Structure 1
Amino acid sequence: MRALADAVDWIDIAQTPGEAREIVAVGHLALVPGLEVDAPGGWHTEEELRLAAEKAGVPPATLIARLVADLYAKGIRHMFITHGPNGWAGGSAMFVRTYDASNHLASGRSFAVESAPPSSASPTASTTTASTAAPSPNGWPTTACRDCCAAVARRTR
């Protein structure tokens, strides 16, 4: 990512929401370092996480907090903690049937599809739009994607 940002004059890396806004304001594309991974920490299942925590002599939440702190120190600012197989952090990409094979290899189980309970739905998810939403809980503006895409469009015209 650093090599890409260094190679062109219209891409910059943002480490904070303020930096992202400043980058976009001057017409550049703001890259936010992130990670997409099936098994954050190398734990494919809740059982693997529990066993690793037991071995370390700490609660699972402490292992997760250490992982997040380590990734943050390395510059990671967002994570997509699911991808192909189900994991301790969330469900999988159900739109591709072949992901069930990787899910079975990683966890020893096939997909288990469940409906989310109504209480877990975000009350703002269906009532806000990208153009009117307030900043997200982590501070990143929900309009960032729209603004960055507009900046790229201006640069490629």
Structure 2
Amino acid sequence: MRDLMSDIHVLPALAPAAAAITDNTAQVGAVIDRLGYDSVTFAIVTGTLADADATFAVTVEHGDVANLSDAAAVPAASLVGTTALAGFTFADDAETRKIGYVGEKRYVRLTITPSSNTGNAPMAAIAILGHPAQAPTPNPPV
């Protein structure tokens, strides 16, 4: 049986908001605890991006403290894909991007930072934890 659901755990990284961002405020995601999982993939989805020259840079941070007070940028060797490929522009309406983390730190966080954005920019992201120590994973995720 081909069952991916029992081998992943899905958590909100950037929850969809009722009001889209309309400026250059960084969208800092939730701290994801990867205890019991060896990998994390962040999946980003965009809505209709209104500004005609906006760009959106993606960064991933990691650390060993639950509130990420020790946050540091993830080195390229601990990423699957690149932050450049995970970023997007105003022309990427209703598209998806992804970036993976395979480092050794327990906590990770995704941040999306707009530049030149003055229009609505709806977006959301989920964290997909994989390679669990114990499967099947809980459903619904907790």
Superposition TM-score tier, normalisation by shorter sequence = under 0.3
With a CA cutoff of 8 Å and minimum separation of 6, indicate the structure with the bigger relative contact order. 2
TM-score, normalised via structure 2 length: 0.20
As a proportion of its length, which structure holds more strand? 2
As a proportion of its length, which structure holds more helix? 1
TM-score, normalised via structure 1 length: 0.19
**Higher Cα radius of gyration:** 1
